[in-house]
Amino acid sequence: MNFAARVTSRALEAGRATSILRSVRVTALGLTSVALTALFVFPASLPAAADPPLTVAEARKLITQLRTDAAAIDQQYAGVREQIKQGRAQLKLKQADVQAQTGKVARMRLQVGQVALAQFQNRSLDTAAQLFVTPDTDRFLSQISTVQRISENQNSQLQDYQQAQADLAALEHSAETDLATLAEKQKQLKSLTDASDKKLEQAKRVLAKLSADKRSQLAAAEARATARANAAASRDAARGPVSGKGAKALEYAKAQLGEPYVRNGAGPSGWDCSGLTMRAWGSVGVSLPHSAGQQSNRGRSVARSDLQLGDLVFFYSPISHVGLYAGNGRIIHAPRPGKSVEYTKISYMPWAGARRPG
């Protein structure tokens, strides 16, 4: 039995609820938060007690996949949180529009009421009779001219007032809908947090099944891989500085090397992938949302062959990870829970595109 088959057989026994295959990860990321909740309620599928224990390599592969899945869910969370932030800003504008429109309707109601009252008070006397009983003829003629003009425009004023009322009702309804949408998105945040936590708990259970010696070997293997990647990138970077906003954003990210991954982290001492890229480009005056998916819509598209230092490089479908191009086929990124900001090769993850902000 080959390596992949052994891992699949051992790690997925109890109903095969937990998949270490990339296809399951891609499918999970396309689900709604409700579906995600349903997907992650199964207990972690660990090797049965009678099975041979996982090797260090098998455990590392499974734990890496679970934590990578958790990081991808964290980016879904970040995307929903950005939507809530934008929704609240739009709602604030709508509420201001509702307030302004309410004042407008009140003023128009007063004007229409005054016209109606004036016509009611004068309805029993025709113009000639009013002229006869009015001592100030010149003033009356001036006033009656104004009243007649108002009367001619009454239908138009009434229609304007009715339209203003309809506009107010529409604004109020839109604001109420936005409030309901925000409430639903808040629920999505909770579902996504739970889903990510379940992945991390599964990873902990895999780790707990290992002996102390194997846990030490696993930690050492992770440390060696990170050290090799960072050393290789540092050697390549010794050619000299490169100017430009992208290069300066990259320098910001380099200063964070070794700092831990933190869910929704945006510094100063912990990062998720989009939090790192957001702050890096923010350091050179370019604003980005805290979401890999939303960052993929900013700036201009860049071909893989035209990458420059600091360009945003995206991975997976749907997009769930981002890093900054560091040259020579590498990026700097905040990988996943249990890891720190580091260099890695672009080829280690499925390419999804690149953008150049600013």
> Annotated active-site positions, please?
273, 321, 333
**Start-to-end C-alpha separation, the chain:** 51
Gap between the Cα atoms of 273 and 312, Å rounded? 11
The residues, ordered by sequence, that sit 6+ positions from 54 with a Cβ below 8 Å of its Cβ are: 7, 10, 11, 47, 62, 206, 209, 210
Q: How far is CA 189 from the centre of its chain?
A: 11
Gap between the Cα atoms of 56 and 75, Å rounded? 28
Cβ-based neighbour number of residue 203 at 10 Å: 25
Kind plus residue range of the DSSP H or E element containing 327: strand 321-327
How buried is 276 (Cβ within 10 angstroms: 0-12 exposed, 13-18 middle, 19+ buried)?
Answer: buried
> CA–CA distance from 89 to each of 74, 93, 99, 182, 345 (Å)?
23, 7, 16, 11, 38
Q: In the structure encoding, which two tokens stand for residue 40, read together?
A: 């992650």
